[in-house]
Amino acid sequence: MKIKSSSILVKEALNEIKTIDKEEAFNLVKEKKCNLIDIRDVRELEKEGQIEGANHIPRGMLEFWLDPGSIYFREGKLDLNKEMVLFCAGGLRSALAAKTLKDMGFEKVSHIDGGFGALRESKFKVI
């Protein structure tokens, strides 16, 4: 049995998804053109802080919270017509998550290069 490594999966995802930088993400948020989604674990938020205005959806619940047919769907939490801009700590999990949302049928999906580490060093406010 040949198992694909996580690095191969991330590389494949990066070939299929849109990657944006922290400045483009800031402008999308400022212009209210996206849902900024932090997929980090709650322990990471408690330890490192969070980006003001970001929606927290843990990676393990992302597909369920964004599936209108799921009992876990969060009605009205996000505008499903806006771009879904995902980030994690460094950009690996968010790349995989963005690919999953594309596979689900979301057309406007991107992830932030460098993740929370990059956002912390930008115009975004950490709370």
User: Quick one: angle between helices 92-104 and 6-16, nearest 10?
Assistant: 60
pLDDT higher than threshold 90 for residue 76: no
Task: Give the pLDDT confidence score for residue 75 in this predicted structure.
Answer: 83
Looking at the chain, the whole-number percentage of residues with pLDDT higher than 90 is 95
pLDDT higher than threshold 90 for residue 77: no
Bridge-partner residues for 37, per DSSP? 55, 86
13-120: CATH topology: Oxidized Rhodanese; domain 1 (3.40.250)
Task: Label residue 93 exposed, middle or buried (CB < 10 Å: 0-12, 13-18, 19+).
Answer: buried
> Going by C-beta distance under 8 Å and a sequence separation of 6 or more, which residues neighbour residue 108?
34, 82, 83, 84
Looking at the chain, the whole-number percentage of residues with pLDDT higher than 70 is 100
Average pLDDT over residues 78-105: 96
Query: What's the pTM?
Result: 0.94
Average pLDDT over residues 36-44: 97
pLDDT higher than threshold 90 for residue 88: yes
Kindly report the average pLDDT of the chain as a whole number.
Answer: 96
> Going by C-beta distance under 8 Å and a sequence separation of 6 or more, which residues neighbour residue 114?
21, 22, 90, 91
Helices (H) and strands (E) in the chain, counts: 6, 5
Summarize pLDDT for 44-62 with one digit per residue, the tens.
Answer: 999 999 999 999 999 999 9
Domain assignments of the chain as residue spans, ordered by start: 13-120
Bridge-partner residues for 83, per DSSP? 34
Task: Give the pLDDT confidence score for residue 106 in this predicted structure.
Answer: 96
